[in-house]
Amino acid sequence: MPCSAIFRTCLIGAVLAWAIRAALIGASAAELAFDLHIERGRVAENMSVIRVKQGDVVRLRWSTDRSIILHLHGYDIERKIEPGSIGVMEFTADVTGRFPVEVHRSSEGGGHSHGDAPLVRIEVYP
């Protein structure tokens, strides 16, 4: 077989493998939205753990009864949420693991301090 034919066969193989993988990921990944309401610094019990799959596009829509700063660790997204409006965190869950959403104390001095327990845990499964 001439060299170019082998090369072409490999190229087609690589493109096919890529297309199949893209189709598989595309089939299993989902776009998920979660509405989370914070009242007195807490969310409803059944929303304290959010489970998603790797590759999912996750949208967290926060509302709150008082001004609060949230920090999704790992993905490192920080949002200030104000009463009367929805604060959105959106990310593609490309890293597996458990990631806490912590309440930040006021950002005075640019410090990084948390309360006792995370507000919500995001669990990303392979």
Residues that bind Cu ion (CB under 5 A): 71, 102
> Residue type for 101, please?
V
CB-closest chain residue to Cu ion:
71
* Shorter beta-carbon distance to Cu ion: residue 78 or 82: 78
Q: Which is nearer to Cu ion, 53 or 73 (CB)?
A: 73
Token pair of 12 as six digits: 């087609």
Closer CB to Cu ion, 26 or 111, in the complex? 111
Cite the beta strand spans of the chain per DSSP E.
31-38, 49-53, 57-64, 68-72, 77-81, 87-92, 97-104, 120-125
CB of 20 to Cu ion, least distance (A): 39
Q: In whole angstroms, what is the distance from residue 88 CA to residue 35 CA? A: 9
Residue 120 beta carbon to Cu ion: minimum distance, rounded to whole angstroms: 13
What one-letter code names the amino acid at 30? Answer: A
- Distance in Å, CB of 123 to Cu ion, minimum: 18
